[in-house]
Amino acid sequence: MSNVAISVENISKRYSIGDTSSGSLQDAFRSLVGRRGAQKTEEFWALKDISFEVKQGEAIGIIGKNGAGKSTLLKVLSRITEPTTGRIEIDGRVSSLLEVGTGFHPELTGRENVFLNGTILGMSRDEIKAKFDEIVDFSGVEKFLDTPVKRYSSGMKVRLAFAVAAHLEPEILIIDEVLAVGDAEFQKKCLGKMQDVAGEGRTVLFVSHNMAAVSHLCKGGIFLNNGSVKIAGDINHVIDHYLQESISAADISLNSRKDRKGTQMLRFSSIEILDIEQRKLSSVMSGQNFTLKLKTESHRASFNDIRSIKVSVGINDSKDNRVSYLSNEITDQVFMNPGKFDSIDIAIPKLSLQPGTYSLTLFCKVNNEISDWIQNAFYFKVEPGDFYSTGKLPPDNQGAFYLDHTFSLSENVVFE
């Protein structure tokens, strides 16, 4: 008997993208009345010749930037989307959570949807009832169980959908990035449950941008890039390869980034690291004083329209764990009616981070409205430095950052 749960052979998925010849209102009107102009059709391959095997009981992380084909692959594996070419063999019952509320009927209550999902998975009513209390307890939506799910928030839908997907004993559990909708406590519960599922010998496919969660849960990984498998194998090796490519991609000008959010009234144009002499650095040493210079530009409005600026910078380590957070709101330095400027400078004395590679996520609010938001906008390296002025540093595995400290002895007289 084969121990292969999922076998994928040369899977490709093609989409046809068509639009009117000019994109004009006239063309749009013609389409409504059945008179269409010349139609241009463009082929887009979301997946290209993908092949891999997943053994029973394996937990596999699928990683890659937005648009790499991760969600399309999971939809193909879940039989939601048919591949254009290729062959898939799946041994076992599959439960998928790909989008908020996947598989839920909006008019039915939460209780009714639990039974509907279980039935779709091929379970009997008695089997579903045996798991029902456990599902409700895990989801935390007992108070709203008899409310139609169309009235649920996104977080509530995810809680119930994950509880159903994970507790109805599928042989194969497929989870997309939807866990990001839940709060930190619920995400921790979900990861714990997925670990339990994998520990019971069932198979897990997990898509996430959270490298810490992926490396914690999975032993194997697949890195997708432009619809193809870039590398597959040990999860730590796959993550390292992905991060190195991310660092290279982040070298492009911030003005070329298409994945930013916000009004762009004020936007980040570049980032520099400067030493105390204002010289540009390619890396910084632990213990070093330096400045982050966030260069900016304004497009849609003059500087006179900018009444307040709130900026934050998130610092993540190589596994995407948030290790620090910088904000001018925290320091009570919100800029009110700032006038004309071309950069926002953040002075950081005596950097306490351990050596490694770190990423910066930039966030800016102008007039209390999100103006620019770029995930992983910049990568930088921290090199070993003489943080304690002793020439000595703690081992790399003893924490994420350094703390200044001193030791002393105090006399404590004990009378016999």
Q: Residue 364, Cα to own-chain centre: how many angstroms?
A: 20
| Residues 137 and 57 sit within 8 Å (Cβ to Cβ) | no
The pLDDT assigned to 102 comes to 66
- 146: burial class by Cβ within 10 Å (0-12, 13-18, 19+)? exposed
Q: Is the pLDDT reported for residue 39 higher than 90?
A: no
What is the percent of the chain where pLDDT is above 70? 87
Mean pLDDT across the stretch 329-334?
94
Residues 375-394 have pLDDT tens digits of 889 988 888 888 888 878 88
Residues 265 and 244 in one domain: no
Lowest-pLDDT range, 97-106, 121-130, 366-375? 97-106
The pLDDT assigned to 40 comes to 61
Q: What is the CATH number of the domain that holds 186?
A: 3.40.50.300
The pLDDT assigned to 35 comes to 54
Query: Of the residues 213, 248, 283, which one is the last residue of a structural domain?
Result: 248
Mean pLDDT of the chain: 85
Mean pLDDT across the stretch 389-405?
83
- 285: burial class by Cβ within 10 Å (0-12, 13-18, 19+)? middle
By DSSP bridging, strand 59-63 and strand 290-298 are: unpaired
Mean pLDDT across the stretch 91-95?
86
List the beta bridge partners of residue 327. 312
Whether residue 357 is contained in a domain is answered as yes
Q: Coil, strand or helix: which one is 159?
A: helix
Q: Residue 205 corresponds to which amino acid? A: L
- 143: burial class by Cβ within 10 Å (0-12, 13-18, 19+)? exposed
Closest CA to 273 of 341, 358, 346: 346
How far apart CA 230 and CA 309 sit, in angstroms, is 41
The pLDDT assigned to 153 comes to 87
Closest CA to 6 of 66, 53, 65: 53
Whether residue 390 is contained in a domain is answered as no
List the beta bridge partners of residue 312. 327, 363
State the pLDDT confidence band at 290, using cuts at 50, 70 and 90: very high
The pLDDT assigned to 1 comes to 46
Residues 62 and 184 in one domain: yes
How far apart CA 266 and CA 400 sit, in angstroms, is 33
How far apart CA 348 and CA 346 sit, in angstroms, is 6
Closest CA to 316 of 389, 382, 264: 382
Q: What is the DSSP letter of 91?
A: -
Closest CA to 230 of 70, 57, 414: 70
Range of the domain at 143: 4-21+42-248
Q: What is the CATH number of the domain that holds 321?
A: 2.70.50.60
Residues 105 and 125 in one domain: yes
Q: Residue 385 corresponds to which amino acid? A: G
Mean pLDDT across the stretch 108-136?
88
State the pLDDT confidence band at 147, using cuts at 50, 70 and 90: very high
Mean pLDDT across the stretch 20-28?
52
Residues 179 and 140 in one domain: yes
Closest CA to 237 of 249, 219, 224: 219
Quote the pTM value. 0.65
Residues 304 and 369 in one domain: yes
